[in-house]
Structure 1
């Protein structure tokens, strides 16, 4: 399959929100507390797009994946219980979601690889991310992509596992 990874645009917001709604239901069905409190929502998606953080994975004309990507912009990461591998510039990943019709095809990993390329293009050699303690699917992706568990951060009042990958 041929995929495109690009910045999200305002007309993409409803399609992205549908992906996130699917992911919210999946998290709930997996017994996770992640994303069960009204976050993320359509306003978060629109804000991501307006600030240039939103990116989509597209197959032909269909949006099949989403991620928010920020540079040096996660205040919660300043107060880690543990230790980051680096203290230089970093890319932050939030809100990874894949269309339920495309699960099991390695597309979350593909998104993560595109984010690595984005970081390198911006001469940034660190990617930081966090996830809920009960998001086993995302933890497995981090593990498979050689992310290091660095400790805990508190995001929106709850502890989360904090990961970093140093790019060569």
Structure 2
């Protein structure tokens, strides 16, 4: 199944489908009892900014010619990560940041989140970056399982969008 998938840079033509996928993820988080993504973020303006900045990526499924996931991959400083509490980052050098990972709920593929994070590793290595830093809500069990499966190390907490979030890092070498 995963051989039919590719990770590509998002374009404005993808914006409507990306928003659909994010709305599905927002609803899923709400149904799970989470407050994550329940205050108007992310939204279409955020998606347009991601695409304009060249940091938005889509998961393209070639068999049914559709977009089934979205992720932001940045190789810029995440200011929120400068204030880590209750721990320490593994490295102080250049890193890739992952934000807004969402997978379609209308085309479910078991393990898709893990596959996306493995592709993020490939993107990081293609840029000669060997560290990935991420954060997620304390109650995002799906992402927490992905981080555990892929050997991310818990480094502490960051404060983002009005709440504390768990922060992780993975070294790729």
Specify the TM-score bucket, using the shorter chain as the normaliser.
Answer: over 0.9
Matched, 1:166 2:160: no
Match of 2:72 in 1: 68
Match of 1:129 in 2: 134
Q: Partners in 2 of 1:72 and 1:165 — Cα distance?
A: 16
Q: Matches of residues 13-162 of structure 1 in structure 2 within 5 Å? A: 13-60=15-62, 61-81=65-85, 82-162=87-167
Q: Partners in 2 of 1:48 and 1:104 — Cα distance?
A: 24
Q: Partners in 1 of 2:54 and 2:45 — Cα distance?
A: 14
Structure 1 runs not aligned, ≥5 long? none
Match of 1:11 in 2: 13
Structure 2 runs not aligned, ≥5 long? none
**Paired residue total:** 168
TM-score, with structure 2 as normaliser: 0.95
User: Structure 1 runs of 4+ off > 4 angstroms?
Assistant: none
Q: Partners in 2 of 1:133 and 1:46 — Cα distance?
A: 27
Contact 1:72-1:91 at 8 Å conserved across structures:
yes
Which secondary structure does the structure 2 equivalent of 1:83 belong to? coil
Q: Partners in 2 of 1:165 and 1:101 — Cα distance?
A: 30
Q: Partners in 2 of 1:143 and 1:103 — Cα distance?
A: 21
Give how far 1:103 is off: 3.0
